[in-house]
Amino acid sequence: MHSRSYFERSATSIAALSRTQLKRRIKNFRGRFKLDFTDDYLDAVSLERLRHILMAALLCGRSHR
């Protein structure tokens, strides 16, 4: 389980990202699983959806280092 401060820092950081930055982070995500979204899909979804995808990936699939 992630700490509350990790969640808050991640959410604040993600909220400040632009669409281009979000797409880059999603496409280059390195975790326990691979995210495989097309550019067409990422261009079509809302900015909030992109933030949700990235936040969920960070919370669920980050490699333990």
Distance of alpha carbon 37 from alpha carbon 23, whole angstroms: 9
| pTM score | 0.82
- DSSP string over 1-65: ---HHHHHHHHHHHHT--HHHHHHHHHT--BSS-----HHHHHHS-HHHHHHHHHHHHHHHBPP-
pLDDT at 51 exceeding the cut of 60: yes
Q: Give the residue extent of every domain in the chain.
A: 4-61
Q: Per-residue pLDDT tens for 5-17?
A: 888 888 999 999 9
Q: Per-residue pLDDT tens for 15-44?
A: 999 999 999 999 999 988 989 999 999 999
